[in-house]
Structure 1
Amino acid sequence: MFEPDVLMDAQIERPFAYDDHAVRLYHLGIGAKATDLHWVWEERLRVLPTFAVVPGFVPIEDCVQLPGFGIDLAALVHERQAIWVHGSLPTRAAGVARMRVRAIEDRRVGASVTFANTLTTDDGRTLATTEMTTFINGVGGCGNHGDVQKARPARMRGDADLRVEVPTSPDMAALYRLNGDTNPLHIDPDLAHRAGFERPILHGLASLGLVTRTVVDGLLDGDPAPVSGVQCRFANPVLPGQTVTVEAQHADDNQILMRALVDGQTVLKEAVLTLV
């Protein structure tokens, strides 16, 4: 049973540790190639800010076990993601991830639940904060709880400064699952059919990583250091094997607006890279 008052008190704390192996595996899972040495070779390795979703990741199967969050996985959709990093992510770190429910927004036909996860190293440094917003169909009328934020990022208008066609592998979702996001929606054909998809879909986080990597390579010369934040809304699913059109546009000195399309249909929107 979905009980917002109970869910708002829910927290999960768990240790994390990663090294360059985990970073390289993540980059491969979002489509990096053997020739992208700054993403796949430990001698030149840089860490994409979206990697922050991996350490301390809480699988959705664990989330639905939280008190007050008794739902059917088929009713849940990953709606939004935000990532904020505090300086460049290191190639190895260890510490504690602390996840809490930050907000529940009543959407009448359903509700959006935002989980905030903060990564803190053993020496007390905050590496990153990630926020995952999920939409749960059929639980509307629950009222707003916590810090509900209504502001939405700007959308691209006019001509793009970058436009790249990025093919995805048919095996991309299976590979990305090795990062810890084991939601069966991305591997189980039966669950995918129950959720209304013709076959298992690509993780939204994999799509976001692919788009961010493409924009960092195309507009920032492959250097993720200037990026302090990434956020987006998942508009439609990507099926592994489809080609993603990535577009980006400089908005001002500290923002790059992004979007992604498949066959002319928007799959990622309200996407922003925030620069330091």
Structure 2
Amino acid sequence: MPIDREKALTSDPSVREIAWTTRDVLLYHLSLGAGSADDPELHLTFENGLTVLPTFALVAGSGISSGEADAPGFHLPGIDIDLRAVLHAGQGLEVHRPLPVSGTATLRSRVAEVWDKGKAALIVLESAATGPAGEPLWTSTTRVWARGEGGFSQDAGPAEEKVTPPDRPADHVLTSTTTPQQALWYRLNGDLNPLHADPEFARAAGLDRPILHGLASYGLVCKAVVDGVLGGDVTRLTGLAVRFAGPLVPGESLTTSVWREGPADDGTERLLLHVACPERDGAPVLTHATATVTAK
């Protein structure tokens, strides 16, 4: 069935209640490599004084113990597509206040836009979380590229903003390492796709071996910016938007180059990011990437 853009955009949002615990937060941080013999990073790995990386929002309520991990993740009104054609193309997150170490929220999800790109469709999904008193917690935006699903309208959407790093050396160059077990740890946050664990499944998908989750790379970059630019203060990172440009194999590393634009009038600063894999001659992993941080 072709995509019905009007139905997708006008349907009521799906609403569900989510909950998370301190244990879920600790597991998320450990799955991103937090803690070492040299620096145990107790603010991320110990329940006393625990703080929460903003990107935890994208797995909150989805852990294996929540019962959500095995649930199909692509129920969209007006969009009936082959899931094998779907690629996670980009991710955005805006946090409206520091995330609590445990809590509940109401998550409202909707199709924000569907653009016809000719040979493919670009689907933009938006999820907004509010706390028990109705306070906004976070808003996430997921970009999904559906191959072979174009041709349903004449509207390709507006030209997309291109984020190009300036022609000067980066202000910060941050390195994030991964281990061969990284994807096995990260999948315990709820994404049990065998592509990240089963070598035979990965080969059937045309890959040499299992790859790391895109959202794991996203979280690694969040942690790198918090550690390397913000002095470990998780509350100063309020937004992170990226495009997924290439896979990362567990055991490889990420190099995040950061260019600072300087403080804006509203007390925030935008950082331009470019994330590459040095073991593969600097192949890009995340591009068109920006972070929003609050000034000191």
TM-score (norm 2): 0.85
Distance 2:192 2:250 in 1: 16
What runs of 5+ residues in structure 2 fail to find an aligned partner? 63-67, 264-268
1:111 Cα deviation from its structure 2 partner = 1.0
Distance, in Å, in 2 between the alignment partners of 1:200 and 1:2 is 32
Q: Secondary structure at the match of 1:79?
A: strand
- Pairing partner for 1:258 from 273, 285, 293: 273
**Matched letter for residue 155 of structure 1:** T
Determine helix, strand or coil for the equivalent of 1:62: coil
Larger Rg over CA atoms: 2
Q: Residue 266 of structure 2 aligns with which residue?
A: none
1:4 equivalent in alignment to 2:19: no
| One-letter amino acid of the counterpart of residue 276, structure 2 | L
2:248 match: secondary structure: coil
Q: How many angstroms apart in 1 are the aligned matches of 2:261 and 2:284?
A: 19
Please give the alpha-carbon distance, in whole angstroms, between the structure 2 residues aligned to 1:125 and 1:153. Answer: 32
Alignment RMSD: 2.3
Which ranges in structure 1 are unaligned for 5 or more consecutive residues?
none
Deviations along 1:153-211, one digit per CA (max 9) or x if unpaired, are 52322211221332211121121111122333323444433433222221111101101
In the TM superposition, 1:121-136 aligns within 5 A as 121-136=131-146
Question: How far apart in 2 are the matches of 1:113 and 1:45?
Answer: 36
2 CA distance for matches of 1:251 and 1:49? 21
Q: Which residue of 1 aligns with 2:107?
A: 97
Residues 1:24 and 2:26 are matched in the alignment: yes
Q: 2:31 & 2:2 partners in 1: Cα distance? A: 33
Contact conserved, 2:3 with 2:149, CA < 8 A, in 1?
Answer: no
Aligned to 1:129, the other structure's residue is in SS state: strand
Trace 1:70-85 onto structure 2 (pairs within 5 A).
Answer: 70-85=80-95
Identity of aligned residues (%): 36
Deviations 1:223-249 (A, max 9, x none): 021222111111111111112112212
Q: In 2, are the aligned partners of 1:4 and 1:104 still within 8 Å (CA)?
A: no
Instruction: Specify whether residues 182 and 220 from structure 1 end up closer, same or farther in structure 2 by C-alpha distance, changes over 3 A only.
Output: same
Q: 1:240 aligns with which of 221, 240, 250?
A: 250
2:47 is aligned to 42
- Distance in 2, matches of 1:68 and 1:188, equals 33
